[in-house]
Structure 1
Amino acid sequence: MNSFDVLQEAEQALLQIFSGIDAQVKHNLKRVLDAFRDRRVGAHHFAGVSGYGHDDLGRETLDKVFADVMGAEASVVRVQFVSGTHAIACALYGVLRPGDEMLAVVGAPYDTLEEVIGLRSENQGSLLDFGINYRQLNLTPEGTIDWQALSQGVEENTRLVLIQRSCGYSWRPSLSIAEIEKIIHIVKQQNPNTICFVDNCYGEFIETQEPTAVGADLMAGSLIKNPGGTIVNAGGYVAGRADLVEAAACRLTAPGIGSYGGATFDQNRILFQGLFLAPQMVGEAMKGTHLTGYVFDKLGYPVNPAPFAPRRDVIQSIKLGSAKKLIAFCKAIQQHSPIGSYLDPVPDEMPGYSSQVVMAGGTFIEGSTSEFSADGPLREPYVVYCQGGTHWTHVAIALEAAIDAVGEA
């Protein structure tokens, strides 16, 4: 069966799932619209301020709108966050103090957090450098949460539990909102004062609620992923309990300034518009992951998640089994990207990553993985991680070339 036939079959098989995703997009868009209406968003909120960024009505209103959409008490949405990792780091440094313990409950964290924690590199001001202890609960052999270990894992000095929603560069199921809620319940039973923090990258608008709506104290993510709707130029967010959000903002700016500073550089309109577009973009990306999972499962490759399994983030993993296939796959995706289609992805060192990484991402925003991209670390078992997709038809076009590039398993 050629690549065109495989995709045609997949599109027919997934029609009902696509329809269900459209219904969810409608639900999520309604909560965005409700927040815009309740906060009386108007064109006057698009104007920005310069310098210190004091008294920015648009930014202050966006913080409230974003918090409403996320089911949180407060939020800070800032272009000054360099990435999701930066937003997460500000949250961690904001609430953790020497002698505290941070407990990761879903196995090892994403590569870029290893240096923040202090698992790699020295004397860069990591959490470990500041006397903040780290411990992790490993996953079961099946790649799922060890619920038994979690039920006994929280200590008196466990100040914060790290819940990574997305699988990252690991072969495990990403977490559902129901699983996150269960984790929070188990943690709070053992120590009500422990902060439940969620790395929410790649997870926004995947379901009809966010972690802060089901009890998470704090969460953070990137604006050049899901909530930026592929048009936001830079930034990240922190949302949750008001005091914890302000503590994170004080790490982004300075104590005493916190959320009151930070010029928006005339980006307010883009930030509002990106949030409005986000549910639709995420819905299209979810369709793309189903399509990708279906066709590569048919070709005999292990895929995560399975073709018809519910989606928990906008990432679809394929275990290609060789460096040659990983590079060939990324090359095919790059050739069918809107920007830089003439470039060949080559493996290279990247800041924050422990292995060489090959990346295909011809996106309009540098580093955005929302317009369909593919990447993976050059290490066994050579898994490619496909992300995003502004419309599933673009994913289908790129996949046709990727199928031809790697062939059957």
Structure 2
Amino acid sequence: MTREMMEQKQLQQAERRIAPQLEAIAERELVNQQRVLDIFRKHNVSAFHFQHSTGYGYDDTGREVLDRVYADVFGTGAAIVRQQFISGTHAISTALFAALRPGGRLLYATGTPYDTLKTVIGLDGSEAGTMNEWGIGCDVVPLAGGSVDMGAVHEAVTPDTQVIAFQRSRGYDDRPSIGLEEMKEYMAELKQAYPEIVLFVDNCYGEFVETSEPGHIGADLMAGSLIKNPGGGITRTGGYIAGRSDLIERAGASFAAPGIGLEGGATLGMLQEMFQGLFLAPHVVAEAHKGAVLTAALMEDAGLQASPASVEERTDLIQSVQFGDRDKMIRFCQAVQQYSPVDSGVTPQPSAMPGYSDEVIMAAGAFIQGSSIELSADGPIRPPYTAFVQGGLTYAHVKIAVSEALKTIQ
């Protein structure tokens, strides 16, 4: 048997092993697609809504309908969806500044957030405009055994606590992501104990992985990026904030200016892709989800540590692979770049990146710069040398790229 035949056999064995997981993902995709379709029909989304505005963007009916569609999809009273959000961090920062006031405190219940948000909340660096400058403090409660330590959270709440935040995804951290069923229990307990405190969810990487969203389980506010899951791989930029109507009004003022709020923001020809991307999102996310499970299975078969494991339930698209070796991590990421549809001739190298304390290698031959729903492999260069593999517009692309990348380290 040739080497190629053996590799093909190993791939087939991995797919047979994860067949139940792939079938379950397909069932979730159907549920999510039905929900999104019903919401589009409810709001009578029409070709008219794709007409764009310029300048101030006043009286943009399509934008207003898109906001309402997003609110329904995420189970909230209102939403603000704008291409002027430049990243998920921007949307999250806007939401938090809207919910917090000087003298208040933010409490992170899921441990230290990822690097870019550490800068925003003033835990890292001395950049201008952080929450520290506004007299807003931050407390962090570490996870206990991968779960939220509710006893420690209660102890950390003070009379000045205004927001309790949950980061659904692991980000660049060696900890499990927090599933919605688990988070639902925490939120019910916190709402009963502290009804005046805003419960916020960083929803990045999690949209449509499960069949519900944070708004359906009691979150007051959430935010995410359109170049991740909800953009369906075709929305070129932007972000969203969804939540209680009063909080979205404040988010609109934080995003634009008091008195303008939700009423402005030119759409500049992007409404069609924003609607269409959201409609495609359940399918595209399912393809990436399947790819993540296959990635875990292939890595496990190669003797590497994958988290989540191939048989575990998931709440986001991030698949971490622990290489334990700097050069193997780098070679793997470089190979993913070589099997990308865009910039396949580029060889990524570790380098400094704004918002991160370590050098980062980023492999992402994407049609949209920084798009995390397209296949990428990246991570900070620090022990135990963990790469975070995420996204994939098609399951077939993930299968090809990861299989080829695995060959470079064996």
TM-score, shorter chain, exceeding 0.5:
yes
Where 2:304 maps in the other structure, the secondary structure is coil
Q: How big is each residue's C-alpha offset from its partner over 1:316-341, in whole Å with a ceiling of 9 and x where there is no partner?
A: 00011121011101111001000000
The aligned residue for residue 77 of structure 1 is 81
The aligned residue for residue 362 of structure 1 is 365
The aligned residue for residue 315 of structure 1 is 318
The aligned residue for residue 19 of structure 1 is 23
Does the 8 A contact of 1:4 with 1:400 survive in 2?
Answer: no
Where 1:406 maps in the other structure, the secondary structure is coil
CA–CA distance in structure 2, aligned partners of residues 43 and 291 of structure 1? 38
CA–CA distance in structure 1, aligned partners of residues 408 and 309 of structure 2? 22
Query: What is the identity percentage for the equivalent residue pairs of Structure 1 and Structure 2?
Result: 48
The aligned residue for residue 124 of structure 2 is 120
Where 2:408 maps in the other structure, the secondary structure is helix
Matches within 5 A, 1:118-267: 118-122=122-126, 124-140=128-144, 142-267=145-270
Q: How big is each residue's C-alpha offset from its partner over 1:79-126, in whole Å with a ceiling of 9 and x where there is no partner?
A: 000000000000111121111010000111011101101112225010
CA–CA distance in structure 2, aligned partners of residues 263 and 135 of structure 1? 37
CA–CA distance in structure 2, aligned partners of residues 123 and 275 of structure 1? 34
C-alpha deviation, 1:393, in angstroms: 1.1
Alignment equivalent of 2:50, drawn from 43, 46, 49: 46
**Unpaired runs of at least 5, structure 2:** none
C-alpha deviation, 1:403, in angstroms: 1.1
The aligned residue for residue 298 of structure 1 is 301
Does the 8 A contact of 1:290 with 1:307 survive in 2?
Answer: yes
TM-score by length of 2: 0.97
Alignment equivalent of 1:333, drawn from 324, 333, 336: 336
CA–CA distance in structure 1, aligned partners of residues 120 and 50 of structure 2? 34
CA–CA distance in structure 1, aligned partners of residues 175 and 126 of structure 2? 29
1:387 has 2:398 as partner? no
CA–CA distance in structure 2, aligned partners of residues 53 and 16 of structure 1? 48
Where 1:238 maps in the other structure, the secondary structure is strand
Where 1:134 maps in the other structure, the secondary structure is strand
C-alpha deviation, 1:68, in angstroms: 0.7
**Unpaired runs of at least 5, structure 1:** none
Where 1:171 maps in the other structure, the secondary structure is coil
Q: How big is each residue's C-alpha offset from its partner over 1:209-264, in whole Å with a ceiling of 9 and x where there is no partner?
A: 10011110000000000000000010000001011112112111111101111001
CA–CA distance in structure 1, aligned partners of residues 318 and 13 of structure 2? 22
**1:88 alignment partner AA:** I
Does the 8 A contact of 1:151 with 1:186 survive in 2?
Answer: no
Does the 8 A contact of 1:154 with 1:191 survive in 2?
Answer: no
Residue 315 and residue 3 in structure 1: after superposition, are their counterparts in 2 closer, same or farther (change >3 A)?
Answer: farther
Alignment equivalent of 2:103, drawn from 99, 102, 105: 99
Alignment equivalent of 1:288, drawn from 287, 291, 294: 291
**1:129 alignment partner AA:** E
**1:84 alignment partner AA:** G
Residue 362 and residue 156 in structure 1: after superposition, are their counterparts in 2 closer, same or farther (change >3 A)?
Answer: same
TM-score by length of 1: 0.97
CA–CA distance in structure 2, aligned partners of residues 6 and 183 of structure 1? 41
CA–CA distance in structure 1, aligned partners of residues 188 and 394 of structure 2? 37
CA–CA distance in structure 1, aligned partners of residues 357 and 264 of structure 2? 34
Does the 8 A contact of 2:139 with 2:156 survive in 1?
Answer: no
C-alpha deviation, 1:7, in angstroms: 1.6
**2:25 alignment partner AA:** I
C-alpha deviation, 1:148, in angstroms: 2.5
Alignment equivalent of 1:108, drawn from 87, 112, 122: 112
CA–CA distance in structure 1, aligned partners of residues 166 and 252 of structure 2? 20
CA–CA distance in structure 1, aligned partners of residues 157 and 134 of structure 2? 21
Does the 8 A contact of 2:79 with 2:248 survive in 1?
Answer: yes
Does the 8 A contact of 2:18 with 2:310 survive in 1?
Answer: no
**1:7 alignment partner AA:** L
C-alpha deviation, 1:392, in angstroms: 1.1
CA–CA distance in structure 1, aligned partners of residues 260 and 139 of structure 2? 32
C-alpha deviation, 1:130, in angstroms: 0.8
**2:403 alignment partner AA:** E
The aligned residue for residue 274 of structure 2 is 271
**1:39 alignment partner AA:** H
Q: How big is each residue's C-alpha offset from its partner over 1:294-323, in whole Å with a ceiling of 9 and x where there is no partner?
A: 111111111110111011100100011121
